[in-house]
Amino acid sequence: MKLSLLEKYDKPTPRYTSYPTVPYWDIAPTQETWLGEVSRRISQNREISLYIHLPFCEQLCTYCGCNKRITVNHGVEIPYIESLLREWEIYVEQFPERPILKELHLGGGTPTFFSPENLDRLLRGICREVEIPEDHAFGFEAHPNNTTEGHLRVLRQNGFNRISIGVQDFSPVIMTAINRRQDEADIYNLTRRAREIGYESINYDFVYGLPFQRLQHIHYNLQKLEELMPDRVAYYSYAHVPWKQACQRRFTEADIPQGVDKRALYEVASEGLAELGYRGIGIDHFALPSDSLWKSAESGTLHRNFMGYTPYSTNVLIGLGASAISDGWNTFVQNAPKVEDYQNAVSQGIIPIYRGHMLTDDDIYLRHHILNLMCRFGTSWDKTEWDHHPQLSTALGRLRAMEHDHLVSLNGNSIRVLPNGLPFIRNIAQCFDARFWQNRPTEAVFSKSL
């Protein structure tokens, strides 16, 4: 990559798991309005997605930017599960008919902090209220250090067919730097048992740009991938946001690869994965041809939401748990991030809406183009849209400089991202982000784009 392009475009930029992005949300809907919108959309299409946030971890990983609660007290499990089931009950009472649960994901925190028995209790309570289609996608985030065979079997019995293993890097030096306890044997054994028990898709999460990470670590990761060959690989950019996550202050910026050094880590990983038969999907995912993520990218149905890239797009994504975000397409809501606030509200029969946003017609229009760019590396429009959406002309004006840099091709009523532009897809999507340009942040809000 040219240094001049990196210096020009490696700027703080949203990741666009939503539009508008969270800092630009304004007025949250009331609970009545939100539940009414959920009911209306389910009456149009019964397929829903469900995300359940399980925030507890026994140990702090210092690179982590997630909402989490560090504790070794497992007495928190049952009260939290009771709160999740109570929140779900509030939704179920409003459903106009029995929904079809197309997609379910357990995120964290560390979902396998919870015992297999308590996860079974949670999932049985959730699934008794829905229909589960044959082509469902149920997945969970697994820490190699504490995911037991009991976890694998209980989740498989409840319909789970995907597992996402948090590898981050195979190097013990880097694992020590980020305070994460796991070793190669944990990853090997978890992968082997998941396959034996019948999980259809195994994903490995990696992070590039971690403290002390160098090219030799990426090459070593590729060697291990060649041995294990998971169905998917996610190679996320480390987001250094110490103003949001105090734990990231435990190492300095001098410890973190940056600029061309950081980008080289990703490019070597990407080239190595291609040689192993993986196809790059979106900004940071890779999949084998047999995987549903590859197939959705091929068919043009790839979607992106608060859970990242997904093969499915449903009318409603409901988020349960502290800090969980829900998406009703024209409405966003986020639950209270603090566990105690979340549980207190739910115990009173209240969905603890902490913030949210009612999308305008312009928001929905721009979201469509940003999603197309993030998922399909291009978008198009009809000539009549110029009159109704002046933001389109403004966005294209910003894209002219990128066309000059050979990042995009503008052809009449369409835009296509060129190979040189793929690393800068977040920057390209940002050209359509009217809210960002109307109120550009004066302080650190987003991580850098690369």
For residues 184 and 224, the answer to whether their CB atoms sit within 8 Å is: yes
The whole-number pLDDT of residue 241 equals 61
Sign of the alpha-carbon torsion through 64, 66, 67, 73: negative
The whole-number pLDDT of residue 240 equals 60
* Residue 108 marked as a ligand binder: yes
* Residue 61 marked as a ligand binder: yes
The whole-number pLDDT of residue 308 equals 87
Distance CA 114, CA 357 (A): 32
* Residue 308 marked as a ligand binder: no
**Cross-strand pairs, 72:** none
Single out the residue in 335, 358, 381 at which a domain terminates. Answer: 358
The whole-number pLDDT of residue 388 equals 83
* Residue 205 marked as a ligand binder: yes
The whole-number pLDDT of residue 248 equals 55
* Residue 269 marked as a ligand binder: no
Distance CA 276, CA 434 (A): 40
Residues 174 and 309 reside in one and the same domain: yes
The domain tally of the chain equals 2
* Residue 208 marked as a ligand binder: no
CATH number of the domain enclosing 328: 3.80.30.20
User: What's the 3-state SS for 306-331?
Assistant: CCEEECCCCCEEEEECCCCEEECCCE
The whole-number pLDDT of residue 62 equals 83
Write out pLDDT tens, residues 75-89: 999 999 999 999 999
Write out pLDDT tens, residues 312-329: 889 899 999 999 999 999
Residues 250 and 388 reside in one and the same domain: no
Domain span at residue 367 reads 361-438
* Residue 325 marked as a ligand binder: yes
Which residues of the chain are under the pLDDT cut of 50?
A: none
450 found inside a domain: no
Residues 374 and 353 reside in one and the same domain: no
Single out the residue in 329, 358, 387 at which a domain terminates. Answer: 358
Single out the residue in 310, 337, 358 at which a domain terminates. Answer: 358
Single-letter residue type at 440: R
* Residue 298 marked as a ligand binder: no
* Residue 64 marked as a ligand binder: yes
* Residue 66 marked as a ligand binder: no
Residues 108 and 209 reside in one and the same domain: yes
Distance CA 283, CA 183 (A): 28
